Amino acid sequence: MGSCSTKKKANKQEEVVVTTKGQDDKPKIEKKQQIAQILAPNLAKTAQSDAVNESSISNRSPNKVLDNQIQQIQIRSGLFRVYTLLGSKPDSYIEKLEENQIKLVQHNVSGIKKRVETINKFDTQSENLIKNIQKNRLQNEYICPITNIYEDTENYYLLSDYCSGGSLSTLNGCLNDSQVMILLNQMVNSISYLHSKKIVHGRLSMDSFHLLSDMNSLFCKLIDVTCLFYENQSVKIEPSFENYSEDVYALGMIGYQLLIGQMPYQIKNNKQLEDKQDKPLLYFKEGTSHSLKRILIKMLEKNTSERIIMDDVKKSLSKNDQRNNYSDVLIKPLYFLSKCKPRNYIHVVFLAFMLNQFNQEEVCILQKIFNDADLDQDGLLKKEDILRLYKSIVEYENIIVDIQYLFQKLDITNKGSIDIKEFISGALNLEDLLTQTYLETCFKYLQNQRGQITCQSVKKHMDINQQLFVQTLEEIKGQHKLNYHDFIDIMRELL
């Protein structure tokens, strides 16, 4: 299962060659080219992101992927035996709750930074809050989920990803149309996911979203998720239309501030005129695209019965997505995909963890490519889906790919399709990811107290298929544990 040697030989009739040049020509892919440049014009790659996501990469259809059981978050003791508090100053997000404190901690061994929220145990709502968090795990690429819960005699400590770029408020009025559209698309994606689970946020602001990194990034995540799980805010049996509509309005307000720099109410001079028109006066910069104007105006409609619904916002943003040169974004990951070596489940698990830890921006890009190719929305790509991706760039680059052999390398369980983690493991840039520093950091974080990686030590930080993990480990090493040198050898064989 961990090797393709037991699988059938590739059928030559199923070989697909996508090319417009001689077969000996190499694709024009520069090593340092930023693959997200088209999606995010001002995107710059970080040397090492502080952001980390310990949960597995989200899947659209949990029943049809490897990890069909979502592990409940366990409560552990001794936070400060594992993490060091980084000073007494909170990070750039200012929590509006009266008692809760937001601070930054760093893992004592690996140096990974996490955002930690303190919940007083003597608060009457705290017990139900913790139960709701454990019961309703969030899995969306644009949401920072609560990944760990620690406790002591007085407090609970809720750990989540740390996005070093800070609040979207730092970008107030500094973005052009396409950049606002990119961020708004991500925010709508995250809140639409909550609505699909019958969760309404109800208190969105610019501080609710943080940029993944401080290197001119245009990728953001929803960070204030704790408020969703208080008794008066937790999963509702059936939220009202007005509840959902309130989130749409709030997102429209955030998008307007990103574009203009002020809220509509801050730029009004005539209160009587506002009352007469019964709607906020919206001013746009000269040259603002008609599509962005139209979307924001519909989202900021004061009459909830006439306000655009979330599904229509998503459709409008999708139609106006910045994808005039989308094929350029596909070139690099599809080139890596065509050249990748066979993966096993151990590779897929560790690569997913490392990519989330060291380059979340690439995760977002690959997730987007996967989702766009997944036309039937089942969380799986079939051979025809992959073939369609390659054909979409035939006029731009020379990439030769054998679809049958590609599936032998990535389809770990021989299900005839590739899930999101398998796809990402083959399409990412391994040369930048599998550096000595990153490998050492990954091992230090996932090891147990004996300095070994085991199924038990990994599942504390990731949702994994434990049976498949142990089985694969036994096949490739003949044991159920990895020391540092074993880990390095397994990962380096992919290069």
**pLDDT of residue 64 exceeding 90:** no
3-state secondary structure the chain: CCCHHHCCCCCHHHCEEECCCCCCCCCCCCCCCCCCCCCCCCCCCCCCCCCCCCCCCCCCCHHHCCCCCCCCCCEEECHHHHEEECCCCCCCCCCCCCCCEEEEEEECCCCCEEEEEEEECCCCCHHHHHHHHHHCCCCCCCECCEEEEEECCCEEEEEEECCCCEEHHHHCCCCCHHHHHHHHHHHHHHHHHHHHCCCCCCCCCHHHEEECCCCCCCCEEECCCHHHHCCCCCCCCCCCHHHHHHHHHHHHHHHHHHHHCCCHHHCCCCHHHHHHHCCCCCCCCCCCCHHHHHHHHHHCCCCCCCCCCHHHHHHHHHHCCCCCCHHHHHHHHHHHHHHCCCCCHHHHHHHHHHHHHHCHHHHHHHHHHHHHHCCCCCCEECHHHHHHHHHCCCCCCCEEECHHHHHHHHCCCCCCCEEHHHHHHHHCCHHHHCCHHHHHHHHHHHCCCCCCEEHHHHHCCCCCCHHHHHHHHHHHHCCCEECHHHHHHHHHCCC
Query: Do the strands 155-161 and 166-167 form a parallel or antiparallel pair, or are they unpaired?
Result: unpaired
Question: What confidence score (pLDDT) does residue 162 get?
Answer: 87
Mean pLDDT, the chain, whole residue set? 77
Question: What confidence score (pLDDT) does residue 55 get?
Answer: 37
pLDDT tens readout for residues 292-338: 999 999 999 989 889 999 999 988 887 665 444 455 667 888 889 98
Query: Do the strands 166-167 and 113-120 form a parallel or antiparallel pair, or are they unpaired?
Result: unpaired
Question: What confidence score (pLDDT) does residue 266 get?
Answer: 55
pLDDT tens readout for residues 6-56: 334 444 444 444 433 334 444 444 433 333 333 333 333 333 333 333 333
**pLDDT of residue 204 exceeding 80:** yes
Q: How far apart are CA 369 and CA 371, in angstroms?
A: 6
Please give the domain boundaries of the chain with CATH numbers for all domains: 4-30+325-492 (1.10.238.10), 75-161 (3.30.200.20), 166-319 (1.10.510.10)
419 - beta bridge partners?
A: 380
Terminal Cα-to-Cα distance of the chain (whole angstroms): 20
Range with the lowest mean pLDDT among 87-96, 141-150, 227-236, 264-273?
87-96
Q: How far apart are CA 427 and CA 425, in angstroms?
A: 6
Question: Considering the entire predicted model, what is its pTM?
Answer: 0.66
Range with the lowest mean pLDDT among 268-277, 366-375, 472-481?
268-277
